[in-house]
Structure 1
Amino acid sequence: MLTPPAMIDITEFNQVFTIPPDHGYGERLYNEISRNRRILEKLFFDRLVEVLKVNTANLYPPRTMQDLRDLHYRIVDSEIALHNKHCLLFYLLKDLSPSTHTETELAAAFAHAVHLPAKLWTFLEGLWALDRLQFQTATDYLTHPSLIPTFPDDILDTLLKHAKEEDARLALAYYHTVSPPLKSVEVRDRFFKYLADINVTEAFYWARARSGEEHRHLLELLIQQTLHSFAGEKRAARGVELVDLPLSEEEEEWFEAYLIEGRGRLLHGARDTVMMRRIATGRLKEAVRDGGVKGRKYDDVSWEVVKDGIGRGLGPRKDEDSFMEV
């Protein structure tokens, strides 16, 4: 059975990589890893060696057995903690484990032999699964309660950008479990758009919990995402949810400023949304006096017809500045 002995010297290549000469990476595995790197833009193995400052000299993935030997040497000869060397070697053995056909997985046998802490083992299984685009498996590992979040924004961003439609909720599960700090504005906005696509109201309250300019920016992003991302009945339903949000007075000002004067004025249905909001909140006088919406018809009904009907209902009150709207 091709498993490491109970006690091994990790500086000895043959004690770590107990594999036959023809069981290296091979062309198929090399191409798969290279393809995944192009998809993800950066592997989590790349992030590990970058953080640990191990100079792998672009040896991963190794094309030949000699490349693997050189990579092993660079890891064990680096000035990093022993457990970090174990982590990098474990990751490499994960690559090779499926090809060895042993009774015990090669990486698992190594982890036992070097007494790799369980939380590091779990973490590495998660990162390796991410690099193999196995997002459900990765999330199961990376949301384990024993883990101290590492690369949390990068992990969330990877799930947001690459998890397939059937795994769309994985990013939300990871966020709620790990609470990544969202230090990157790009990652924060990508997560917020994702949240807005799932639930307009939940996204609204998430934005409200942020402070100052960030709050306003996210509210504008919510409006943009709601009016821009979908079409047909789904956009209409989300639009209704948007105009029914319990906006504060300040948020109301931001809402109208964005859609009437700001960048949101170019969005499809921008002024229609303002009009709907005014009617939904009982600001009927403002709705009647709004000259920004024209006679475009929806199911043979135009805004001019709607405003005319509201105006007749208000009677002379529509011209009274003191009219109290409810």
Structure 2
Amino acid sequence: MDDEYLDAFEALIGDDEIPYSRDLNNRITMQRNKLDGYLFFDLWSSDVAGVADMSSLYPPQSLDMLRDLYIQVITAESDVLKQRCILYYLKKDFSEEAADEFCESTAFPATQKKLVDGIYALDRFDFETAMRNLTAPGVRLQFTEKMLLTLLQYSDNGPRYVRMLVFTSRPKLDSKNCKKLYLEALSRISVSSALEFVRTTTPIEDRAEYLQSMIGFCLSTGKPSSAYDIANLPLLDYEEAMILDYLMSKPDASAKNILLVRELHRGQAGAAREATGPMKNQISFGTKRTTQWAEMARKLKTNPAQIL
């Protein structure tokens, strides 16, 4: 190894204690496993700095491995700023103070700092910090689909964070799965917003698929208001037909529940009363899965029109 590299590495580490204990390394590895085998740092290092095997280099198991990782970064075919982004991420493992000193000594740009801080926090499921940084002005997002999926899967505020991220940063939702993740977030927050998204951003040939997904996402929230929200959707005739065809083709209880709500919405109280017959026992259980329908069922026993 060239003396120049050794001196630069020693200068980077300084007097800081190497943080990569067995406990820290296990926690990083566990996070990688939760993220389907790749941290955001792994993907970002490959895309930004050309370090393609970061998942095998990080976290380092020893000082020698940390030195090898450093050499991989500074000899990669990328500019100095991109290399410093990777090194700043690593310095954050030492301490926030060490990372801040690195920024000051290298005149690290504020926007890049926000981006790295956001990725670092996202890899550790510190979602509030991640969102504060990733939605900052000038920060350009990558791996949008993985970000949306991670927020929905692991954050209690996932739907709200997803909407905030898309609204603020305007990333391209350029895959069907990416659109469906955003649709899921909207459906859990506001079914009317979800419907508007389907109408304005999805091709007509895929419209039925997205509408069906929207109904499924609304049901999955478990909110008591779900039935009322769906009942009051201002559907166009072709949208109504798409949704009813889908529900009538499904044998499960959730589909029957929605059919009931739509009959009430259309003023078909007799048909709704008839539809509740086979659902009586299921609704009366009041389980977590069916509580959103319990109040509706009680009202229906006395006056079906009350639900409208």
TM norm structure 1: 0.75
| Equivalent residue, structure 1, for 2:107 | 115
Determine if contact 1:11/1:73 at 8 Å carries over to the other structure: no
- Deviation, 1:153, is 3.0
Is it true that 1:93 corresponds to 2:91 in the alignment? yes
Gaps of 5+ in 1: 1-7, 99-104, 307-326
| Equivalent residue, structure 2, for 1:180 | 171
Q: Kindly name which structure, 1 or 2, has the bigger radius of gyration based on alpha carbons.
A: 1
| Count of matched residue positions in the alignment of Structure 1 and Structure 2 | 281
Determine if contact 1:153/1:180 at 8 Å carries over to the other structure: no
CA RMSD of aligned residues (A): 3.0
Residue 78 to residue 289, structure 1, CA distance change in 2 (3 Å): closer
Of 88-97 and 208-217, deviating more is: 208-217
- Deviation, 1:71, is 0.5
Residue 24 to residue 271, structure 1, CA distance change in 2 (3 Å): closer
| Equivalent residue, structure 2, for 1:255 | 243
Residue 27 to residue 188, structure 1, CA distance change in 2 (3 Å): same
Residue 11 to residue 276, structure 1, CA distance change in 2 (3 Å): same
- Deviation, 1:219, is 0.9
| Equivalent residue, structure 1, for 2:197 | 206
How far, CA to CA, are the matches of 1:170 and 1:259 in structure 2? 30
| Equivalent residue, structure 2, for 1:274 | 259
Gaps of 5+ in 2: 281-296
| Equivalent residue, structure 2, for 1:318 | none
Residue 56 to residue 11, structure 1, CA distance change in 2 (3 Å): farther
The structure in which a higher percent of residues are helix is 2
How far, CA to CA, are the matches of 1:300 and 1:15 in structure 2? 73
Determine if contact 1:156/1:175 at 8 Å carries over to the other structure: no
Determine if contact 1:256/1:274 at 8 Å carries over to the other structure: yes
- Deviation, 1:272, is 4.9
| Equivalent residue, structure 1, for 2:218 | 226
Q: How does 1:1-326 map to 2 (within 5 A)?
A: 12-20=8-16, 22-41=17-36, 42-51=38-47, 52-56=49-53, 58-97=56-95, 105-163=97-155, 165=156, 169-209=160-200, 210-230=202-222, 234-235=223-224, 237-261=225-249, 265-282=250-267, 284=268, 293=275, 295-296=277-278, 297=280, 298=297
SS at match of 1:273: helix
SS at match of 1:54: coil
How far, CA to CA, are the matches of 1:168 and 1:106 in structure 2? 34
Of 81-90 and 204-213, deviating more is: 204-213
- Deviation, 1:290, is 9.4
Letter in 2 for 1:16: L
Letter in 1 for 2:40: F
How far, CA to CA, are the matches of 1:10 and 1:198 in structure 2? 53
Letter in 2 for 1:15: A
Determine if contact 1:220/1:258 at 8 Å carries over to the other structure: yes
How far, CA to CA, are the matches of 1:271 and 1:123 in structure 2? 46
Determine if contact 1:10/1:16 at 8 Å carries over to the other structure: no
Identity %: 28
- Deviation, 1:96, is 1.1
Letter in 2 for 1:49: S
Residue 229 to residue 168, structure 1, CA distance change in 2 (3 Å): closer
Residue 17 to residue 56, structure 1, CA distance change in 2 (3 Å): farther
Residue 66 to residue 24, structure 1, CA distance change in 2 (3 Å): farther
Letter in 2 for 1:23: I
Letter in 2 for 1:18: G
